[in-house]
Structure 1
Amino acid sequence: MNKTFKLGGDLEINRVGYGAMQLTGKGEFGEVEDRENAKNVLLKAVEFGVNFIDTAEAYGPKYNESLISDALYPYKQNLVIATKGGFLRPEPFVWIPNGNPDHIRENIESSLKRLKTDSIDLWQLHRIDPNVPIEKTIVPILEAYKDGKIKHFGLSEVTVEQIEKIREYLPVVSVQNLYNLGDRRWEDVLDYTIKENIAFIPWYPLASGPNKMAGKLQELSLKYNSTIAQIALSWLLKRGSNILLIPGTKSIQHLEENLKADSVSLTEEDYNLLLEK
């Protein structure tokens, strides 16, 4: 199993990364409760070998990006920080897509400042706004891409048709859709990204689905002397060599466990066992 993936053809990524969304307040809103612990988790993630961290303007909103730069700037060489834009967050648990060009432009410029960088390694459109033509939403993204403020561009929660439409304007190097053992509704998108050598970043990767799956995961965790989470993550790594994992946690212990998922190598038989309904 390959432990790395070359994002956009030039960024060598360790396939088990870290998603920082949990390092916010309740409902992904406001400052994280224990900021020192959050900073320590980020530092430990990099110390343990993570070189891909996923965040977003909407996490907090804004607080998460500032937390990352406070903890990790100046950044370690080859550390890739991916962020996203395109949501309004008026209150906890509320997520409103906003593809207005002025909003997108502000998101990009503000993320650059909060992350203390001149160029974002990977900027992703968090959602396509159904109320704004994508031709308009893409304009400030294309400007930032041409100006070098965005090195690479990705999408989140999109169909194959939407990916192909946006690829008419600029290259798409990653897709971040909901995907895990219990929810595989985006199989066609994953298969498309495999064929096109586009990174697939499953969000909510540790949801295990129906309770009946818990028994299989438990059985395999005993067989491989691993945690259930490691088995679920290992299954994803085997599903596609383009899959980049971003499990999030506020616990250093869970962080360390998650990062060992790439050391678990499932057999074809065990991989298929988890595919069974």
Structure 2
Amino acid sequence: MISQTFTFGQGHTVRRLGFGTAQLTGPGYWGPRGERAEALTVLRRAVERGVTLIDTADNYGPGLAEELVAQALHPYPAGVVVATKGGVVRTGDSAWHIAGRPEQLRAMCEASLRRLRVETIDLYQLHRLDPAVPMAEQLGALDELRRAGKIRHIGLDSVSAGQLEQALRLTAIASVQNRFNLLDRESEPVLALCEARGLAFLPWFPLANGALTAGGAAVLDRIAGDHGATRGQIALAWLLHRSPALCPTPGTGSPTHLEENLDAGRVRLAEGELAQLNDLVPS
């Protein structure tokens, strides 16, 4: 039986199938997408369905996704963990600028605290390591924020296994967020390290940015048909079966798609089915 929950940091337990907020914003994660009321409905329904891990970022919008989370859910229900990210500045829908100087990280964290309407951010993830700033300085700034009570746990986004090992020598890390899905397993070494060290792994693009719902793999279609499920549900179920450290946070702005994603947690894959899905990517 697969575990439905993951406990990270100092006893924070979340349901592994969470909700990501990037799709509540427009193309390129810039500006609004659709009606604000529908975004608020999706967020509230996610929590009604038992989601306890909400993943967002300061540059989704920018700022918009965090504002939506607060408007929909504040005061946050007991057990709900809001994870956000800082370390990237946006100047357009295709313009991303890594910003990891300590003063930048402190300012971004303070802005997220205000938008989320909290005194402490449950999980604050460094969205990208800044190659122009020593890792010790970037993590040192986050450590200062943690000691000040403004961050509870520190996470990393888009890191190699070597970078994660280096970070763990510098401070306590609770999570990693790398690209990982049924067709993209480049971060297997990072996942293995997360399993060994008890870290959560939040895979982004869990549906391969839509590729896993578009058709093509006959084995995926056959397994989906056998379960009366969609391709996307099988892809999410595979993540939940693949490792107890994986905590996918698929996002959507559609209430119907939200229900479909969350129903993936009910799919139970047989060993033979898992073997066929594993073989979709040669080892």
TM range (shorter): over 0.9
Q: Say if 2:219 is the partner of 1:246.
A: no
- Contact persistence 2:212–2:232 (CA under 8 A): no
Over aligned residues, Cα RMSD in angstroms? 1.5
- Contact persistence 1:104–1:141 (CA under 8 A): yes
- Which residue of 2 is the match for residue 51 of structure 1? 52
Q: Secondary structure at the match of 1:90?
A: strand
- Which residue of 1 is the match for residue 279 of structure 2? 276
Correspondence list, 1:119-198, <5 A:
119-198=120-199
Cα deviation, residue 67, structure 1: 1.1
Q: Say if 2:221 is the partner of 1:218.
A: yes
Q: Which runs of 4+ in 1 moved over 4 A?
A: 208-213
Q: Deviations over 1:146-189 (max 9, x none)?
A: 11111111100001111121122221110000001111111111
| Equivalent position amino acid for 1:224 in 2 | H
- Which residue of 2 is the match for residue 255 of structure 1? 258
Cα deviation, residue 9, structure 1: 4.0
Distance (whole Å) between structure 2 residues aligned to residue 183 and residue 12 of structure 1? 27
Cα deviation, residue 214, structure 1: 2.4
Cα deviation, residue 210, structure 1: 11
Distance (whole Å) between structure 2 residues aligned to residue 43 and residue 211 of structure 1? 28
| Equivalent position amino acid for 1:249 in 2 | T
Q: Deviations over 1:229-257 (max 9, x none)?
A: 11000111111011101000111111111
Distance (whole Å) between structure 1 residues aligned to residue 241 and residue 3 of structure 2? 9
Q: Say if 2:6 is the partner of 1:16.
A: no
Distance of aligned partners of 1:143 and 1:92 in 2 relative to their CA distance in 1, 3 Å threshold = same
Cα deviation, residue 213, structure 1: 5.4
Structure 2: stretches of 5+ with no match in the other structure: none
Distance of aligned partners of 1:69 and 1:211 in 2 relative to their CA distance in 1, 3 Å threshold = closer
- Contact persistence 2:18–2:51 (CA under 8 A): yes
Cα deviation, residue 33, structure 1: 3.1
Distance (whole Å) between structure 1 residues aligned to residue 228 and residue 198 of structure 2? 32
Identity, in percent, stands at 42
- Contact persistence 1:183–1:209 (CA under 8 A): no
Cα deviation, residue 108, structure 1: 0.7
Q: Secondary structure at the match of 1:27?
A: helix
- Which residue of 2 is the match for residue 234 of structure 1? 237
- Contact persistence 1:39–1:67 (CA under 8 A): yes
Distance of aligned partners of 1:213 and 1:268 in 2 relative to their CA distance in 1, 3 Å threshold = farther
Distance (whole Å) between structure 2 residues aligned to residue 42 and residue 127 of structure 1? 26
Aligned length: 277
Cα deviation, residue 215, structure 1: 1.4
